[in-house]
Structure 1
Amino acid sequence: MGGAYLIMFVIMGVSMYVQWRLKSKFEEYSQVGLSNGMSGKEIAEAMLRANNIFDVRVLSVEGRLTDHYNPQDKTVNLSSDVYYGRSVAAAAVAAHECGHAVQHATAYAWLGFRSQMVPFLSVASRYMQWIILAGVLLINTTAIPLTIGVALFAVTTLFSFITLPVEYDASNRALAWIQKNRVVNEREYIMSADALKWAARTYLVAAIGSLATLLYYVSLLLGRRD
């Protein structure tokens, strides 16, 4: 058990570091004006048009780092700093979210898998932690609640790993497009790639952390059965 706690502690520390680096990188690159003067909204709309996507809206949403693509209503949602921003960070994020729209339009398999899991996970997430807590408290009486909780957590872990190719592919599409269409110069491209690299690492750390937690719960189950 001590080893499991140590691993989880290390992963938590790495996660905090990656989150800090991500925020610092975006703050840094938000101060670097884009040479072509385009806003995140303009870049997003241009990338959508270039990929013959005309049924996706680009919207402004509140918050920071709240940018996302919603396949349900086909909207690219950009935080105000990205939507109105004319910086390297805004260009990278706007193009990345449009990368998801391109995935959707081209029926990218991994995005389809992830989207199919969302309805189940939205329901399961409401009860999973309570089921796991009940399972831990009742572990010496019955293994049923913890077994159910572990099964639900396994699905969330799978979701985390399916998210990885989706995010990395969206970044690759974004970087290829902004470079090919000269949305950024060479210096700005390097910054954009760096920003998206750190963003992707947050998903990687989250997936590893989810797997470590899952293995911990599995060890509880196996220990109970022994």
Structure 2
Amino acid sequence: MGIYWILFIGIALISWIVQSRFKSKFKKYSEVPLSSGLSGAEVAQKMLQDNGIYDVQIHVANQGQLSDHYNPTNKTVNLSPEVYHGRSVAAAAVASHECGHAVQHATAYSWLQFRSAMVPVVSIASRLTSWVLMAGVLLMAFGGNPWVLAIGVGALFLTTLFSFVTLPVEFDASGRALKWLETANITHSREEHDGAKDALKWAAMTYVVAALSALVTLLYYAYILFARRD
């Protein structure tokens, strides 16, 4: 069991470092003006149009900083205020990344389709997982049947799988964004393009760490389940 606590602490430390680094990079490139002078909203609109997408709306998200996301259900690109109104390298990078998801949706990108199909089930599983796992561990501690914990581990497997399915979706969206920023001449200089690439790299790293954290948690509870059954 000791190895799992070491992994938990290690993942928590790495997560904190990556999150801090990402926020630092976003702040840094938010202060670098985009030479094209376009706002995040204008970048998003141009990328959608360049990809022949005219049925996606661009909104200001109201959840606060770094709340940017694409909603495939109502086909909206939702940008945080600093990205929507910002005229910086960071704003262009984030706006084009979210539009990358819209392009994925429009072109029926397989990983996005798989991820979207998982959402209803994972949404239910994520709400129940912590309570079921807690109940399962308590029952087994008092010699109870392991089936409750087994259900919890199954639900946790689904949420972990979802985290890993998210990775190719996010990396692909960033790849599409960076390619378009360069070909559309939005990032005029090499410094601007490298800055956008650096910002998106650290954003992607937050998803990698989240997936690894989910995997460690899954292995921990699976160990409890199968060790006690033996």
Query: How high is the TM-score relative to the length of structure 1?
Result: 0.99
- Measured after TM superposition, the shift of residue 212 of structure 1 is 0.6
Given residue 120 of structure 2, which amino acid in structure 1 is its aligned partner?
Answer: P
SS of 2:70's equivalent in the other structure is strand
Mean Cα displacement is larger for which, 121-130 or 50-59? 121-130
Given residue 107 of structure 1, which amino acid in structure 2 is its aligned partner?
Answer: A
Given residue 36 of structure 1, which amino acid in structure 2 is its aligned partner?
Answer: S
- Measured after TM superposition, the shift of residue 75 of structure 1 is 0.2
For residues 176-226 of structure 1, the C-alpha deviation after alignment (integer angstroms, 9 at most, x for no partner) is 000011100211000000000000000001001100110000100111112
SS of 1:38's equivalent in the other structure is coil
Given residue 192 of structure 2, which amino acid in structure 1 is its aligned partner?
Answer: E
1:163 to 166, 183, 194: 166
- Measured after TM superposition, the shift of residue 8 of structure 1 is 1.1
SS of 1:142's equivalent in the other structure is coil
1:77-156 equivalence runs, <5 A:
77-139=78-140, 140-156=143-159
Given residue 219 of structure 2, which amino acid in structure 1 is its aligned partner?
Answer: L
Please say if 1:20 is aligned against 2:20: yes
- Measured after TM superposition, the shift of residue 172 of structure 1 is 0.2
The aligned counterpart of 2:196 is 192
Write the distance in 1 (CA, Å) between the matches of 2:90 and 2:65: 12
- Percent of aligned pairs sharing the same letter: 57
Given residue 3 of structure 2, which amino acid in structure 1 is its aligned partner?
Answer: G
2:179 to 172, 176, 179: 176
Write the distance in 2 (CA, Å) between the matches of 1:125 and 1:193: 32
Please say if 1:207 is aligned against 2:208: no
SS of 2:159's equivalent in the other structure is helix
Moved over 2 A (4+): none
- Is residue 111–residue 165 contact of structure 2 (8 Å, CA) maintained in 1? yes
- Measured after TM superposition, the shift of residue 123 of structure 1 is 1.6
- Is residue 157–residue 218 contact of structure 2 (8 Å, CA) maintained in 1? yes
- Is residue 125–residue 158 contact of structure 2 (8 Å, CA) maintained in 1? no
SS of 2:87's equivalent in the other structure is coil
Write the distance in 2 (CA, Å) between the matches of 1:225 and 1:38: 60
Write the distance in 1 (CA, Å) between the matches of 2:150 and 2:24: 40
Write the distance in 2 (CA, Å) between the matches of 1:189 and 1:27: 16
Write the distance in 1 (CA, Å) between the matches of 2:223 and 2:157: 13
Write the distance in 1 (CA, Å) between the matches of 2:61 and 2:97: 16
Write the distance in 1 (CA, Å) between the matches of 2:146 and 2:182: 54
Given residue 14 of structure 1, which amino acid in structure 2 is its aligned partner?
Answer: I
Q: How many equivalent pairs are there?
A: 226
SS of 1:138's equivalent in the other structure is helix
Write the distance in 1 (CA, Å) between the matches of 2:38 and 2:176: 19
Given residue 192 of structure 1, which amino acid in structure 2 is its aligned partner?
Answer: A
1:33-48 equivalence runs, <5 A:
33-48=33-48
Task: Give unpaired runs (5+ residues) of structure 2.
Answer: none
